[in-house]
Amino acid sequence: MRSSPPPATLSAAAGSDVAAHGPLDWRTLVGWLREDGVIAPAEAERTVARCASAHSAQHPLQRLSVVGMARAQDGQLLDIETLTQWLAGRCGLNYLRIDPLKVDVGKVADVMSAAYAERHKVLPVQVSPAEVVVATAEPFIRDWVPEVERQTRKSVRLVLASPVDISRYTAEFFALAKSVRAANKGSGQGGFGSFEQLVELGKSNKQLDANDQGVVQVVDWLWQYAFDQRASDIHLEPRREQGVIRFRIDGVLHPVYQMPVGVMNAMIARIKLLGRMDVVERRRPQDGRIKTLRPGQKADEVEMRLSTLPTAFGEKMVMRIFDPDATVKDLSALGFSAHDAQRWESLTRRPHGIVLVTGPTGSGKTTTLYATLKRLATEEVNVSTVEDPIEMIEPAFNQVQVQPHLDLDFAQGLRALMRQDPDIIMVGEIRDLPTAEMAVQAALTGHLVFTSLHTNDAPSAVMRLLELGIPPYLINATVLGVLAQRLVRTLCPACRTREDEAAAGASRAALAELVKPWQVSGGYRPFQPVGCVDCRMTGYRGRMGLYELLVVTEGFKDKVSREPRLDVLRRQAVVDGMRPLRLAGAARVAEGLTTLDEVLASTPPVN
Ligand SMILES: [Zn+2]
């Protein structure tokens, strides 16, 4: 649908004497809802009575969503999205739920001014060489269309979106575009040249604030936006023409925004300043940390780890955001089954020995270790860690950062810690024999040691220790258990749908085949991903852990000392109660929390 007037079929289809022009009004909408059988006649009468009794300046769609109409078909309350979607169908427009990550804010803000967008209650959401897609909640007001088409020399395509989203994002997008423009101006034609000078002169936070409000606002916006979108990492990447901002959300990178390189350099400089990094040094990698407040109901502190890297097109920055709730999560929130939670709990309450957590990078090992240590860290015990890097500062722990250039590696850090009267020790990772030997030594002298290894599954961790050169008798004397883990994305609760009978039958058979000779016990309620704006159309929202827990028993020790072969160790671990990773995943599929695709992509085959 171009800028043409509403199709002639509309009023016929509506079967109504209400002319389809001018602003929407709630009476017309109620009439249409009733005609379309969306609501029952009695519900229509009730709604008319309620709305007629009070005046409201709200958009009619919003107003009707607030009074709470029940859908005739299933009694479900009609929310604003459902109503908007229905109206789109009725007036022959495409429905759009605005996804802020998909909107190129810089481009859309060039289409019209903020005042114009607000006056006409429309928001450009997409700009291509020939076309501008504009979201509206007033499908029958189109007198502005020719003007925009003339100004932009592009044709306008209308889509229908919720009036609430349109007003919210209009404010947000235009404010952001304005800040970027201001920052761009402030950074001068030559980019960051003048900016660096400014920093050198002042070298103080205050000076920068006073002189470049645009940069300050863009940085504030960036963090707020990242927190809103549940991002775990923010990437600021200079490219040849433009600076690109990307967010990692649930393990996947999403492009968010493009901006002039000069503005991005100014942003990076400001963030470096806040992170107490050397702002002028741009040719060598640097690390830093920032704590900032996340506004909201409970304004909590968010910690970010910063790192910069010189690249071909300039300095790149990555900010890792640490979830302040991460360390307090209990085991079931991390994804432990009841079976494994209980076994893990008893393992971590032992007085001394080594507990290993394994998995590839990004499998959530650190989160599990922090959550576990946090539960153990009482006033009566000394919990100390050697880490590379320290991912999260935890006041209850004594944390040491590995610094190879100062000859402080894992083994040396651990040796130093041992003189500090520790009870519980966490060694970030065992990478070599000296570290493994120190960990064994610490366990033998009465300490509980947590550490991680890079292996595919739990039994392989024992093989890895043997390869490093730890003899079987020392493994048996110290290792209490091994937890292998993976992260899978969880289905978005807002849009996931039940698999129909036929699909469920097929997927059940596929699942059974994959976990053979195991069986998935309990019910089977598989869901499939759909995609909505809550999950940025991915169908997934959030992640959960899958776990495989090997508890070392006398039987297992016997196999280690006599026949350290992987298949033999694995079989014994299973006899002792270990459930393989893929089986843990299959159980989550059966519960409708994730999908077979996710589990297949992240877990090794059974056996
Ligand atoms: Zn969704």
Q: What is the pLDDT of residues 55-70, one digit of tens each?
A: 888 899 999 998 889 9
**pLDDT tens per residue, range 327-374:** 567 778 888 999 999 999 999 999 999 999 999 988 989 889 988 998
Round to whole Å and give the CA distance between 131 and 157. 7
Q: Which residues of 370-407 are buried (b: 16+ CB within 10 A; e: fewer)?
A: bbbbbeebeeeeebbbbbbebbbebeebebbebeeeee
H/E stretch holding 335 reads none
**pLDDT tens per residue, range 27-39:** 999 999 999 999 9
How remote is the CA of residue 504 from the centroid of ligand 1, in Å? Answer: 20
How remote is the CA of residue 487 from the centroid of ligand 1, in Å? Answer: 19
495's CB contacts (< 8 A; 6+ apart) are: 529, 530, 531, 532, 534, 535, 539
How remote is the CA of residue 176 from the centroid of ligand 1, in Å? Answer: 26
* Proportion of the chain above pLDDT 70, given as a percent: 90
At residue 51 the predicted structure's pLDDT band, cuts being 50, 70 and 90, is confident
How remote is the CA of residue 258 from the centroid of ligand 1, in Å? Answer: 25
How remote is the CA of residue 101 from the centroid of ligand 1, in Å? Answer: 14
How remote is the CA of residue 151 from the centroid of ligand 1, in Å? Answer: 36
How remote is the CA of residue 381 from the centroid of ligand 1, in Å? Answer: 44
**pLDDT tens per residue, range 546-557:** 999 999 999 999
How remote is the CA of residue 511 from the centroid of ligand 1, in Å? Answer: 24
How remote is the CA of residue 595 from the centroid of ligand 1, in Å? Answer: 14
How remote is the CA of residue 10 from the centroid of ligand 1, in Å? Answer: 31
> Tokens 């598989």, residue?
526
How remote is the CA of residue 360 from the centroid of ligand 1, in Å? Answer: 28
545's CB contacts (< 8 A; 6+ apart) are: 334, 335, 336, 364, 367, 368, 485, 486, 487
H/E stretch holding 457 reads none
How remote is the CA of residue 539 from the centroid of ligand 1, in Å? Answer: 5
How remote is the CA of residue 174 from the centroid of ligand 1, in Å? Answer: 26
* Integer angstrom CA distances of residue 146 from 116, 151, 464: 14, 9, 70
How remote is the CA of residue 321 from the centroid of ligand 1, in Å? Answer: 23
Tell me if the pTM is above 0.75: no
Is the CB of residue 61 less than 8 Å from the CB of residue 129?
Answer: no
**191 pLDDT exceeds 80?**
no
Tally the C-alpha atoms within 13 A of residue 181's C-alpha that lie toward its C-beta: 11
199's CB contacts (< 8 A; 6+ apart) are: 207, 208, 269, 273, 279, 280
How remote is the CA of residue 553 from the centroid of ligand 1, in Å? Answer: 44
How remote is the CA of residue 542 from the centroid of ligand 1, in Å? Answer: 11
How remote is the CA of residue 493 from the centroid of ligand 1, in Å? Answer: 7
How remote is the CA of residue 508 from the centroid of ligand 1, in Å? Answer: 23
How remote is the CA of residue 359 from the centroid of ligand 1, in Å? Answer: 28
How remote is the CA of residue 491 from the centroid of ligand 1, in Å? Answer: 8
